Amino acid sequence: MELMNKVVVVTGAGSGIGAATATLMAAHGAKVMVADINLKSAQKVADDITKMGGEAVPFQVNVTQFNEVESLIVEVVKNQGSLDVMVNNAGIGGKNQKRTAEHTLEDWHNVIAVNQTGVFYCMKVALGQMMEQGYGNIVNIASLAGLKPSGNNLSYSASKFAVVGMTKSAALEYGRKNIRINAVCPGYTQSPLLDQLLSSRSEMRDRLRGKIPMDRFGEATEIAEAVVWLASDKSKYITGQTITLDGGISL
């Protein structure tokens, strides 16, 4: 995948798609900065990568805090010399599944802060460094909920539509600067976020799975494969695009 010795930052890398992406990046020879709000989780993923013979460094970062994002990138560049790839994966879902009129203010503010503002902060800082070094690659983790309506899920849907929009707008702005920016849009994928959704109602698992033509949920490793491809030179003529990995549910 031509990722050997590339310096990669993955946010939300302590579990789920982020952990799978960090692990696969390292397997392809990248130097992976495992960033997560939970340092213990980041450390475990980094340790697992190291045991496999890969190179990984854990970092604690809250993407809703601009100064923490800025400090992360400064530290990475100081120690590694560059920032080749930024994977903006950190994300949360709302605690409640409610219609818009009943949507809680807490869910709105928390989800938008992580999923939308956090991605903006990471893109802003990463792009500053990439402009300085003359190249770079950003992969944002959006969602199928950012491409089609998602009921009882307003803040999450709004945030993921925003990620798709930010991806395309920034790709347009930086295409001539040797910086590529793309997104992946997973459908229902095995992860802590899906577990949270499935626990909201007893019948939710069968209900959601029944809508998927492939009759199963996605695996985090399957999403990671797409992220790694976008991060590599194998996709060097692609920018501003969204890749949907949803088992056919969008059909």
Residues serving a catalytic function are 156
Task: Tell me the C-alpha distance between 225 and 217, whole Å.
Answer: 16
Amino acid at residue number 104: T
Task: Tell me the C-alpha distance between 61 and 115, whole Å.
Answer: 14
**Strand ranges, E, within 49-186:** 55-60, 85-88, 136-141, 179-186
Q: Which among 111, 244, 115 is positioned nearest to 187, based on CA atoms?
A: 244
CB distance 160 to 115 below 8 Å: yes
Q: Which residue has the tokens 């969008």?
A: 250
CB distance 126 to 66 below 8 Å: no
